[in-house]
């Protein structure tokens, strides 16, 4: 598609450091909730969410789980380096990488890289009553990361080793080290599938009791999996945001989810930008099936690919095409990846609303918010700033209803 310039300075606002929530509230669902619908703003609390969602609504959660991706390792000389695991390299899928024994390779960021000329980094640790050793060997450079091969002699999987040794990678803008509270509170209560280096923070406000209350009120819930990468924190440095290269993230969707989404079109609210990017990317895979006979899931959904789907093709057709292909192939779930960038020019295919926190200035996440509410994002953020809302990952929440476009 031909993409017209999009000036990132038009998506800037002043965010004082004291408005960034450094810690979570004592009770998850006691955060503020800003509700925006067709220009009207209501100030509620998150435990009021069931009152704001009509019966028949479907909430879509991202059930990814943050793993302890930060490892503090040492050279034999004693020099300290940090190895931050981004995504598996060999084996290349998360499930097999976490289940690997003895050896696993990951793409990693390395703090203090100049100190690591040759040889392994190491950690000695105790597990199952004996002293064990984890080594890290530096490999090829991939973009700004390096392939790091881990080898260990413990009778344990890589997932067990990193759970034992690693640290939760809280966002850099919190300007503090991770603490015991982050081990539980930087996870959603429904997190199940390990693979993220950042939490899908819109879901941090939910409690099991609140989810039960939603179900009792006729709100259905569905789950997708998108493993959140470190690229979610990358600012847009290009003056024209369309020149920004969107990061790639891996997702999993089930055939049953496609059926449920198709049945609830017009009533779907995604919980978080990651759930949004996942379910909107599904439409692109459906279009590939309609055009090529296959979703070609090995190929990443491109940054602008979904914008090229003809307006006359309905969302029901797109979801039905992908569901039908999975049924013919005997697949219960499909793994793919997406680089989709949702900007104010985007027409939402699947969602009608979004539950989300308040995002950083000049970020791709703020562009996504503008795609939902248009220029009203400024009014929304000004209200939040003037009324004591807390910002970013551990901050308060909002419920935003799509202002333009329509679901089929």
Judged by DSSP in three states, 68 sits in coil
With 0-12 CB in 10 A as exposed, 13-18 as middle and 19+ as buried, what is 147?
A: middle
- Confirm whether 176 is domain-assigned: no
Q: Is the pLDDT of residue 3 over 90?
A: no
- Confirm whether 174 is domain-assigned: no
Same domain for 227 and 135, yes or no, is no
- Confirm whether 175 is domain-assigned: no
Question: What is the enclosing helix (H) or strand (E) of 149?
Answer: strand 145-152
- Confirm whether 208 is domain-assigned: yes
Q: Is the pLDDT of residue 300 over 60?
A: yes
Q: Please state the rounded mean pLDDT for residues 346-365.
A: 96
Q: Please state the rounded mean pLDDT for residues 135-162.
A: 95
For the stretch 65-110, pLDDT in tens is 999 999 999 998 888 999 999 999 999 889 999 999 999 999 999 9
Same domain for 131 and 218, yes or no, is no
Pairing of strands 249-254, 333-338: antiparallel
For the stretch 189-206, pLDDT in tens is 999 999 999 999 999 999
The percent of the chain in helix, strand and coil, each rounded to the nearest 5, is 35, 30, 40
CATH at 24: 3.40.1780.10
Contact indicator for 194, 155 with CB cutoff of 8 Å = no
Contact indicator for 135, 152 with CB cutoff of 8 Å = yes
Taken in order 159, 106, 281, 295, the sign of the CA dihedral is: negative
What is the token pair recorded at 95? 């499930």
Same domain for 388 and 269, yes or no, is yes
Q: Is the pLDDT of residue 404 over 70?
A: no
Same domain for 94 and 132, yes or no, is yes
Q: Among the three residues 166, 197, 218, which one is the final residue of a domain in this structure?
A: 166
CA–CA distance, 53 with 190 (Å, rounded to integer): 20
- Confirm whether 172 is domain-assigned: no
Same domain for 200 and 125, yes or no, is no
Same domain for 214 and 346, yes or no, is yes
pTM: 0.94
- Confirm whether 129 is domain-assigned: yes
CA–CA distance, 298 with 397 (Å, rounded to integer): 35
What is the token pair recorded at 317? 């057709």
Same domain for 158 and 92, yes or no, is yes
Q: Is the pLDDT of residue 2 over 70?
A: no
What is the token pair recorded at 22? 């450094």
Contact indicator for 197, 82 with CB cutoff of 8 Å = no
Same domain for 261 and 313, yes or no, is yes
Same domain for 16 and 157, yes or no, is no
What is the token pair recorded at 111? 């703090």
Predicted local distance difference test score (pLDDT) of residue 108: 95
pLDDT averaged over every residue in the chain: 95
Q: Please state the rounded mean pLDDT for residues 36-48.
A: 97
Same domain for 247 and 365, yes or no, is yes
Q: Among the three residues 138, 166, 194, which one is the final residue of a domain in this structure?
A: 166
Same domain for 62 and 76, yes or no, is no
Pairing of strands 220-227, 249-254: antiparallel
- Confirm whether 348 is domain-assigned: yes
Domain count of the chain?
Answer: 2
Rounded percentage of the chain residues whose pLDDT exceeds 90:
91
Longest CA–CA separation in the chain, Å? 65
Look at the chain and count its residues: 408
The residue segments making up the domain with residue 148 are 70-166
Q: What is the band of 406 on the pLDDT scale with cuts at 50, 70, 90?
A: very low
Q: Please state the rounded mean pLDDT for residues 395-402.
A: 98
Same domain for 324 and 385, yes or no, is yes
Predicted local distance difference test score (pLDDT) of residue 405: 45
Contact indicator for 255, 222 with CB cutoff of 8 Å = no
Residue environment code for 230-256, b if the CB has 16+ CB neighbours within 10 A, otherwise e: bbbbeebeeeebbebebbbbbbbbbbe
Q: Is the pLDDT of residue 313 over 60?
A: yes
Q: Please state the rounded mean pLDDT for residues 213-235.
A: 92
- Confirm whether 179 is domain-assigned: no
Q: Please state the rounded mean pLDDT for residues 273-302.
A: 97
Q: Among the three residues 166, 201, 226, which one is the final residue of a domain in this structure?
A: 166
Contact indicator for 135, 151 with CB cutoff of 8 Å = yes
Q: Please state the rounded mean pLDDT for residues 345-366.
A: 96
Q: Please state the rounded mean pLDDT for residues 346-353.
A: 96
Predicted local distance difference test score (pLDDT) of residue 78: 85
CA–CA distance, 397 with 33 (Å, rounded to integer): 5
């Amino acid at each position: 598609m031909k993409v017209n310039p999009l000036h990132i300075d038009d998506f800037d606002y002043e965010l004082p450091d004291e408005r960034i929530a450094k810690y979570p509230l004592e009770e998850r669902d006691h955060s503020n909730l800003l509700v925006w619908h067709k220009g009207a703003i209501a100030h509620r609390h998150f435990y009021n969410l069931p009152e704001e969602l009509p019966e028949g609504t479907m909430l879509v959660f991202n059930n990814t789980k943050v793993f302890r991706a930060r490892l503090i390792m040492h050279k034999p000389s004693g020099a300290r380096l940090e190895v931050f695991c981004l995504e598996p390299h060999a084996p290349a899928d998360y499930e097999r990488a976490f289940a690997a024994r003895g050896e696993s390779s990951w793409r990693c960021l390395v703090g203090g890289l100049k100190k690591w000329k040759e040889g392994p980094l190491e950690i000695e640790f105790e597990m199952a009553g004996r002293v064990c050793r984890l080594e890290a060997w530096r490999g090829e450079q991939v973009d700004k990361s390096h392939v790091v091969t881990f080898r260990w002699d413990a009778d344990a999987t890589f997932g067990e080793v990193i759970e034992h040794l690693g640290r939760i990678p809280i966002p850099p803008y919190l300007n503090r080290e991770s603490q015991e509270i982050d081990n539980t509170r930087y996870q959603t209560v429904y997190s199940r599938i390990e693979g993220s280096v950042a939490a899908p923070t819109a879901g941090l406000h939910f409690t099991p009791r609140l989810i039960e209350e939603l179900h009792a009120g006729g709100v259905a819930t569905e789950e997708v999996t998108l493993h959140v990468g470190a690229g979610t924190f990358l600012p847009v440095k290009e003056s024209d945001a369309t020149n920004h290269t969107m990061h790639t993230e891996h997702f999993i969707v089930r055939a049953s989810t496609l059926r449920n989404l198709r049945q609830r079109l017009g009533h779907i609210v995604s919980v978080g930008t990651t759930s949004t990017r996942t379910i909107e990317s599904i439409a692109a895979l459906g279009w590939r099936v309609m055009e090529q006979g296959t979703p070609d899931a090995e190929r990443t959904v491109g940054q602008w690919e979904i914008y090229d789907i003809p307006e006359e093709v309905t969302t029901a057709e797109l979801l039905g095409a992908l569901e039908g292909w999975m049924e013919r192939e005997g697949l219960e779930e499909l793994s793919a990846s997406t680089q989709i960038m949702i900007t104010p020019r985007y027409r939402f295919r699947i969602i009608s609303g979004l539950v989300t926190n308040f995002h950083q200035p000049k970020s791709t996440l703020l562009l996504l918010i503008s795609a939902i509410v248009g220029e009203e994002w400024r009014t929304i953020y000004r209200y939040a700033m003037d009324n004591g809302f807390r910002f970013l990952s551990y901050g308060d929440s909002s419920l935003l209803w799509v202002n333009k476009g329509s679901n089929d």
